[in-house]
Amino acid sequence: MRHAPTLATAATVLSALTMLLAPAGPAHAGSATPGETVTLPVRDALQALPVEEENRAGYERSKFRHWIDADRDGCNTRAEVLLAEAVTAPEQGPKCALTGGRWYSAYDDQYLDNARQLDVDHLVPLAEAWDSGASAWTAKEREAYANDLDDPRALIAVSAASNRSKADQDPSTWMPPSADYACKYATNWVADKTRWGLSVDAAEQASLADVLSGCLNEPVTVTLAR
């Protein structure tokens, strides 16, 4: 039987991070808290994530409000990501309509010259976030997650074809077609789950560990959102 992630998931992540980051000796009395920036090797970050069974009961995409225009500049979150990640800047028209420009889709190693050919992907999909702890969040927390422009790893512009192939899958069932992007993808996945205090399931953890075993154990720096 599959069980829903507990309300303590975020606290569990913070506790594990604190143990990994704590300097030796009794002088350390602090703990990792939301808003704090932490740095640790990616394999340690993976091991710090709680392992929980997943439950999609009650999930609806509409429970993650997006795309919003948080700064009221006329460009919603999707457009902000496209503008930030353009290899060649597009022209910006009324209501942030984008024409021209060029983008690199890292998932499938190709360049695209039309914004309509791109999707802005939630690196950790909304449904996966729900399964991994977001079902217990407030509506405002889910909105913040769905429109996270504060960490450039959270949202990525990729070809619509690759994004729709991925859908809501985690790394145990889907990895980017471009093998050269595997290490980056797994590292960013761990960073995003760490940032938001999300859990992993056993198959997901094993797949990430397998990918990362062939990668540099590079440090990841994350500002905790929860």
Residue 39 has a pLDDT of: 96
Residue 27 has a pLDDT of: 26
Tokens of 10: 């975020």
Residue the block writes with tokens 């993808």: 185
pLDDT in tens, the chain (226 residues): 334 334 444 444 455 554 444 333 222 223 578 999 999 999 999 999 999 999 999 999 999 999 999 999 999 999 999 999 999 999 999 999 999 999 999 999 999 999 999 999 999 999 999 999 999 999 999 999 999 999 999 999 999 999 999 999 999 999 999 999 999 999 999 999 999 999 999 999 999 999 999 999 999 999 999 8
Residues 188, 121, 131, CA angle at the centre, nearest 5°?
75
Query: Which pairing describes strands 37-41 and 219-223: parallel, antiparallel, or unpaired?
Result: antiparallel
Residues 170, 172, 175, CA angle at the centre, nearest 5°?
70
Instruction: Read off the amino acid at residue 148.
Output: D
Would you tell me the crossing angle of helices 9-21 and 182-196 to the nearest 10 degrees? 110
